[in-house]
Amino acid sequence: MIRATLQDYARLLVAVGSQAAGSKLDAAVGGVITLMRQRGDAHLVVKLPKALEELIASAEGGTVRVTTAIENPELATLVAKALQRREEEVHVDVDPSVIAGARVQVGHTLIDASLDGLLQRLQSHLSHS
């Protein structure tokens, strides 16, 4: 099993948070926490708020570009709100090769929470094993 870091879980929370709202957001966050517990990483849950703060702080100051597989008219608004930005600072691109999830680039920081990115990392990991 590929080990996930605290930063991986923080990026996953940002990704699910950008695609859900209200009770669906609660369920999505609960799903991430359940995943952490199943993978033996429940001890990291208490560190998530700090990791999210650091992730958002590193994102401040740059332009935000979100790439998803399907169009979502509300995505720019949700991401802008999550990152405390103006909606005009968030650019959304559609790229079917993402498959699912999202890639979020803020300034020079890329958060790849896409299925395509996960598959590429898995392929790289397996080819180096």
Of residues 23 and 46, which shows the higher confidence score?
46
The parent domain of residue 73 ranges over 6-127
Residue 105, domain member (yes or no)? yes
**Which ranges of the chain would DSSP assign to H, the alpha helix?**
6-17, 22-38, 48-59, 75-82, 115-127
Percent of the residues in the chain that have a pLDDT greater than 90, as a whole number: 11
Residue 1, domain member (yes or no)? no
Q: Would you state the pLDDT for residue 58?
A: 65
Angle separating helix axes 75-82 and 6-17, nearest 10 degrees: 130
- At residue 72, does pLDDT exceed 80? yes
State the total domains in the chain: 1
Q: What is the mean pLDDT of residues 44-59?
A: 77
- At residue 92, does pLDDT exceed 90? yes
Q: What is the mean pLDDT of residues 32-57?
A: 84
Q: What is the mean pLDDT of residues 74-80?
A: 89
Angle made by CA atoms 61, 21, 46, in degrees to the nearest 5: 70
- At residue 96, does pLDDT exceed 80? yes
Burial of 90 (0-12, 13-18, 19+ CB in 10 A): buried
Residue 43, domain member (yes or no)? yes
| Tokens coding 90 | 């968030």
Confidence bin at 67 (pLDDT 50/70/90): very high
Residue 56, domain member (yes or no)? yes
If we measure between CA atoms, which residue out of 6, 8, 28 comes closest to residue 17?
A: 28
Residue 74, domain member (yes or no)? yes
If we measure between CA atoms, which residue out of 118, 109, 100, 121 comes closest to residue 18?
A: 100
Residue 31, domain member (yes or no)? yes
